[in-house]
Structures are given as structure tokens and as C-alpha cells.
Structure 1
Amino acid sequence: MNNSPQIQPNWPSNPSSLPCELLEWGLIVIEGSDAASFLQNQLTNSVLGLERTLPGRVAQEYSGTHLVGYCSPKGRLLASAWLGLFPTGADAQDRFVLFISKDIAASTAKRLSMYVLRSKVKVTDLSNDLSISGLYCSEEQLLDVKPNPDGINLRLPNVLVGSQSVARLLMAVAKNNQASSDKSSEQLSVWNDLEVLSGIPRIVQATQEQFVPQMINFESVAGVDFKKGCYPGQEIVARSQYRGAIKRRLQLAHVTNARSILPGTELFHSTDPGQPAGMVVLSAQSPYDLSRTDLQIECKLEALEAGEIHLGSTDGPVLKIDSLPYRLLDI
């Protein structure tokens, strides 16, 4: 049974709610005549064939946006991002965009730039030049949303909270062209909780190089294409998939009356206190119950079978495991 909080029938109350500013998000642009082939050789998901999203439009569904990972040669995720193809006009050259955690945007752009070599590709971290915001609403209310015609707009997968499906948009505009945004903590709190409840992970600085993609369900949320060509760490990722070597998975959980919980916080199992059983991937305080914190955790599958999983230490708060909103693919 999923223990996610129920959304009230009139939520959100205002169909034209302002987007909330997302200070934890950044954006990288990869452009040039060789950009598609370059990224095809770097990311876990396929880039070729992605639909072009023209100015004023919204990249959406799998044809227009992909969840991607960027791995080390050891197959560990250095970054995750939402990818879209946003040319500046119908006849313009390719311009790919990565919505990514801001704390790893600069290092990711620098690492990608190291492999450009003689390719006609330019990699630019625009995180400090753009304002990134998020908007959530019902599917019906989404029809009335008018994205900034000069912005970069990407739709994330809906999140099921209780019995209601919630739509989400990521939007980026130049800071001198940004519309009004809601800077209240309440709206940002809802956005962050929706991200956790989606079960789709986001790599931040504290969790870089901690996970092979399958350890955080990347293959189950369409973040890996096993039919594409090589990329850094590809052999290890493929071997993990086909040899059944993954004994850890991402789960949803929650804890009550705990202090601020940061990504990377270790978990400990009651029957094996000598070593960590996993770690926190993302966390967010529930906007509906301030005593509750919702979590994405990565943990050993055997730790779910019996005993208790504790947060932070062997005598830390006990986690309650919740249902994932999707089916895990067999490995």
C-alpha cells in the first residue's frame, strides 16, 4: 500500500499558479553540428531521433525528452539530467539542453568539454545566466498554461499522489526576461515532495559516483537504452543488467520527526549494524504533514526482507517503506 498523502480535491487551488523558483537546478547547453553524435557517445540514453522543440513549445513525452545519465568509466553515475533538443529556430543547428542539479552543472560541463576534441561541439554551463522554475498543476489546468515563448520548456512525467495525477513543467528563461515567480517556501515544498514521490532519482554532488544506474532504478524509468552504442561505463552497466549483479534498488520511504535529511545520509540495518545498508538519494519534507519526511533511498534488497532500516546510525529513526509508482524491470 502506498502511504503517499492524499491531495485535496481543490488542489492546486489556482489554475494560474505562478511557477516556483528552483535554485537547486542548473542547465547545460550542448550545441553544434556534431552535438547529437557527441552526446550519443557520452550518455546512457539514446540521443538520435529526439524531436526538435521549437521556441515557445514544450518538450514532452519520450519523443521529446529523455532522462539520461552520465557515467564514469567504472559505470557509476556522475550526473543525471533531463535532455531535450531546443534549436533557436526551424533552420537552426542542433542545441541540446540538460536540466541538471546546479551543484554538479559546472563540473559536468567541464568533463563533457574534455571529450569534445575536434568535434564541432560547444558545451556551456548557463546555470548562473538563466532562471529555472517549476510549475505543477492538474492535467486539465495544464491546458491553460502558457510557457514563456523565449524560454526552454520541458515536461516531466506526471506524479500520482493519492488519487490525483499531477503534471509538472521545468522552465528556463534569461534572468532579464523572467516572469514573476512564487518564492514562497510552501510551493517549493510541494514541488520537492512531488519529485521524491515520482521515484525518479536526481544525482547531486553528495551522491556522485555512488550508483550504477540500475541501483537507483534508472532502467525502470527509461533512463538507459541497452541497444545504443558505447558510452563511458557502458560495459559495466550492460553486465550488471544481463548477469543479474544488482542486489540494491531505489525505494520510496518516509520517516517521522527527523531533522533535516540530506542526500548521501547513510542507512543501517538492525541485523548488520557494522556497515551501511544504503543511503538517501533525495528527501523532502511533506507539505501535508510537517512531521513527515519523504525519501528516495538506495538500499540492499535483503535489508527489506526482515528487521528495521535506520536513518543515519543504528539507533536512528526507523524508516517506513512505501510503494514505488512503477514496476521494476527484472534484472
Structure 2
Amino acid sequence: MTHSASTLMPFFGLIRVSGEDRASFLHNQLSNDINHLSAGQACLATYNTAKGRVIANIVVLKRDEDIILIAAADLCETLQKKLQIYIMRSKVKLQSMDEWRVAVSIPAITTVQAEPVPQYVLSATQKNQIWQITLPDNTTIQIGKINQLPPLNTETAKAWQVQQISSGIPWISAAATETCVAQMLNQQLIGAVHFKKGCYPGQEIIARAQYRGQVKRGLALLETTSILTAGDTITDSNNEEVGLIINQVQQETATLALAVIKHSAAETQLQCNNHSLTIKKCFFTTVITENT
């Protein structure tokens, strides 16, 4: 039998959405099909600008009496304010959940899928007032009151970050908000974007990018010996901007990072903060032609 390691994950924060119109309201704002979620189910979603740029990517948990949104803690206030604007006459109430926290767990044995299969509904269970949601890479998120969750273990937190980055699963924070469309972040591959659910902010841009293949940037796994920060600019050998650091984790001898880069930059020498970057893996298919 294998056991998992768990830790508090301060990166995440929570918003509670209540009121009888909560599901239809969120269905019209987020990129996934919230109306067809049953109580006790979860999903991934993005909240986007009218131009299709991802403000935040979110785990959505539907409970009997409310819906919980889990996103980067440094974006929760922004997310709540932007959603509040569109409530108007809808019977919806948004609240921060300051007494609740998010923890994560890593199974003892993890696997990285070569080609993720979209999961529009995620498994969610409740035990001892703690909700647990299984993510596409089989790691889990738990939410509950802080005294019910495991303490922060920095090594386990780093291991979880390494697993997410190595799996090509990005988490947008304030440093990278409104910089990428969903396909640059492979949100369509893990089930965060539902293309048949109807309108939501940015839907036309995201649909056009999907069906016309207009996205020219994608995720890449990078490594460097220097320290990186989310939001750092990536340049090529000509010092031209070609990408952006989304997530990073510093290890003993190197820093691993998940970045969005131009497809055409995958064959060039990249750098960030005057330090060279090594591309370990691209999470997109690069087609190099003579005219590229």
C-alpha cells in the first residue's frame, strides 16, 4: 500500500459563492460547464477577460449549499471584485473564506501522462469536514479549516510544485494574470475549457484560437542554475521577448520552471535575467518550416 505526503499550500486561496443563482451565474462567467456539475463534483475552469486572456485558472467545487472557487491567493481579491461587477440582479453572494485553507497531497507513485485526456468533471469526496479533489495528474487538493489540515511542509510543497511543473500543469498567479489565452496554458487539454457550453467572457477569442489554430505560444519545461520569478521575461539570443515564466520551483542544484514561449523559439537559445535556459520538454507540437 502506498501513502501520500500532504502539506498546507499557501499559494491558494478560496472564495465562497452562495445564493440561488450561483450555478447559472458562474456558468455564464467561467469557461467550463458549471450548470451540469452535481453537488459533490468539481471541475477546472478559467476566468478570462473579454479578449480571452486568462485572469485566473480555478478549481470549482460544487456543494449542496454553495460553490467554492480555489485559485491563487494573490488573485482572489481581484477575482472576487471582477465577478462582483457582473452579479447585478442575480441572487449571488461572494465571500472570502479567511478561516479556510488549501492543502495538497502527492501520491507515493506519480505518473506524467504524455497526452492528457480532458477531464470535465473531477472526483471530489468529503471526510471529517475536509473536501478532497483529485487533479488530472492524480495529485489532490484538500480544503478545510486550517486546524483540520496538515501543517506546511516545505519539502512536500516543493515536491508538489515539481510534479505540477513537470506535468505541464500551470497555475496563474498575479504575476502572470491576463498574459495568456487558455490554449497557451493547455487548459483545453485538461478539461478546463468546454467548447459546447455557450457564451462566457472571452469565449469567441478562445473558440477562434481552437478551431483556426492561431495560437503561436505554448508551455515549455525549462531548467536553469539561476533564480527565476513568475512573470519574468524570456528572451532569445537577439534579446527579443519570446516568453514568460508562469511557475517556478528552486531545487538544490537548479531551478525548474514552466513557461509560455513562442513555438518558433523552441529551437533557439533562451535566456532569462541574463542566464541561459535549457528546454527540457515542450508541451506543444512545433512545426518548423523554411519560412519560420
Q: 1:45: which partner in 2?
A: 32
Within 5 Å, which residues of 2 pair with 1:149-164?
A: 149-158=128-137
Please tell me whether residue 36 in structure 1 is matched to residue 23 in structure 2: yes
Which structure 1 residue ranges, 4+ long, deviate > 4 Å from structure 2? none
Structure 1 or 2, whichever has the larger Rg, is: 1
* Amino acid paired to 1:155: T
Q: Once the 2 structures are TM-superposed, how far is the Cα of residue 152 of structure 1 from its aligned partner?
A: 2.6
Contact 1:193 1:285 in 2 (8 A): no
**AA matched with 1:25:** F
Letter in 2 for 1:282: N
**Which of 69, 78, 99 is equivalent to 2:70?**
99
Q: Which residue of 2 aligns with 1:3?
A: none
Q: Secondary structure at the match of 1:220?
A: coil
Q: Deviation at 1:67?
A: 1.3
- The whole-number CA distance in structure 1 between the counterparts of 2:173 and 2:30 is 17
The change in CA–CA distance for 1:297 and 1:16 in structure 2 (over 3 A counts) is closer
Superposed displacement of residue 132, structure 1? 1.7
Q: Does 1:120 align with 2:102?
A: no
Matching of residue 192 in structure 1 with residue 171 in structure 2:
no
Gapped regions of structure 2 (runs ≥ 5): 111-124, 288-292
Are 1:83 and 2:66 counterparts? no
SS at match of 1:84: strand
Distance 2:256 2:247 in 1: 9
The CA distance in 1 between the partners of 2:144 and 2:15, in whole Å, is: 13
- Residue 107 of structure 2 is matched in structure 1 by 137
Q: How does 1:1-331 map to 2 (within 5 A)?
A: 15=3, 17=5, 19-53=6-40, 64-87=41-64, 93=65, 95-126=66-97, 128-138=98-108, 148-158=127-137, 167-175=138-146, 177-179=147-149, 181-255=150-224, 257-259=225-227, 261-270=228-237, 272-273=238-239, 275-286=240-251, 290-304=252-266, 306-313=267-274, 316-322=275-281, 324=283
Work out whether residues 156 and 168 of structure 1, in 8 Å CA contact, stay in contact via their aligned partners in 2: yes
- Structure 1 residue 115: deviation in Å? 0.8
Question: Contact between 1:266 and 1:311, CA under 8 Å: does it hold in 2?
Answer: yes
Residue identity opposite 1:293 in structure 2: T
In the alignment, residue 118 of structure 1 is paired with which amino acid? Answer: R
Q: Tell me, which stretches of 5 or more residues in structure 1 are unaligned?
A: 1-9, 54-63, 88-92, 141-145, 159-166
User: 3-state SS of the aligned residue for 1:202?
Assistant: coil
Percent of pairs with identical residues: 28
Contact 2:176-2:231 within 8 A present in 1 as well: yes
Alignment root-mean-square deviation, CA: 2.3
Number of equivalent positions: 272
Shift of the alpha carbon at 1:51?
A: 2.6
- Secondary structure at 1:221 match in 2: coil
Change (3 A) 1:152 1:113: farther
Aligned partner letter, 1:192: Q
Contact map agreement 2:39 2:63 (CA 8 A) in 1: yes
Cα distance, 1:205 vs structure 2 = 0.2
- 1:199 to 1:114, Cα distance in 2 relative to 1, 3 A: same
Instruction: Tell me, in whole angstroms, the C-alpha distance in 2 between the residues paired with 1:122 and 1:147.
Output: 23
Residue in structure 2 matched with residue 162 of structure 1 by the alignment: none
Hey, what's the Cα distance between the residues in 2 that align with 1:213 and 1:16? 30
Q: Deviations over 1:158-203 (max 9, x none)?
A: 2xxxxxxxx322112123x424x24332111111211212211111
Please tell me whether the aligned partners of residues 254 and 322 of structure 1 are also in contact (alpha carbons under 8 angstroms).
no
The DSSP-based 3-state class of the residue aligned with 2:136 is strand
What's the offset of the Cα at 1:225?
Answer: 1.0
Say whether the 8 Å CA contact 1:86–1:152 is kept in structure 2.
no
Alpha-carbon distance in structure 1 between the residues aligned to 2:135 and 2:109: 12
2-structure distance, mates of 1:182, 1:121: 33
Equivalence for 2:113: none
**What TM-score, normalized to structure 2?**
0.86
